[in-house]
Amino acid sequence: MNDLESIQELLRPLFPGLMGVRLVEATAEKVIATLLIRPDLCTTGNSVHGGALMAFADTLGAVATFMNLPQGASTTTIESKTNFVGAAAVGTTVTGECTAFHRGRTTMVWQTLIKSESGKLFAVVSQTQLVIAG
């Protein structure tokens, strides 16, 4: 079940699906997804809530870890750090690209860059995922 469509369907009824996360690419090396910034994902001033960007990046790191898990294992986030460097407005589609710093047997560490379609950087997220043996 590591194909893109199956993972997207798995996410559909969950929080990432409710947010509108759309997977573009999901491999063991990289996960790319998009998110349309809607009013319900924003704070005052019609800019995206930081928690929405964090949840978006967390989803990408979890999917990336999932793509690397041994049979029967699962994962959970144990640490996440976000640097916000720009504000995305309502109507903006952001793209997250998640790549590995470390893919180990017990932990994996990922970095997600969240940018606009024109390449403007909004956030940099690093997170650690625990690999839970099956």
Structural domains in the chain plus CATH codes: 4-132 (3.10.129.10)
How large a percentage of the chain has pLDDT more than 70?
A: 99
The count of residues in the chain is 134
Tell me what pLDDT residue 2 has. 74
Find the mean pLDDT for residues 21-30.
97
Tell me what pLDDT residue 118 has. 95
Q: Chain-wide mean pLDDT for the chain?
A: 97
Q: How far apart are CA 57 and CA 102, in angstroms?
A: 16
Asked whether 4 and 26 are in contact (CB, 8 A), the reply is yes
Instruction: Write down the pTM of the prediction.
Output: 0.96
Tracing tokens 């690397």 back to the chain, one arrives at: 68
Tell me what pLDDT residue 1 has. 61
CA atoms within a 13 Å half-sphere pointing along the CA-CB vector of 104? 9
Find the mean pLDDT for residues 97-113.
98
Strands 30-36 and 121-132 come out as unpaired
Helix (H) or strand (E) holding 92: none
Find the mean pLDDT for residues 114-132.
97
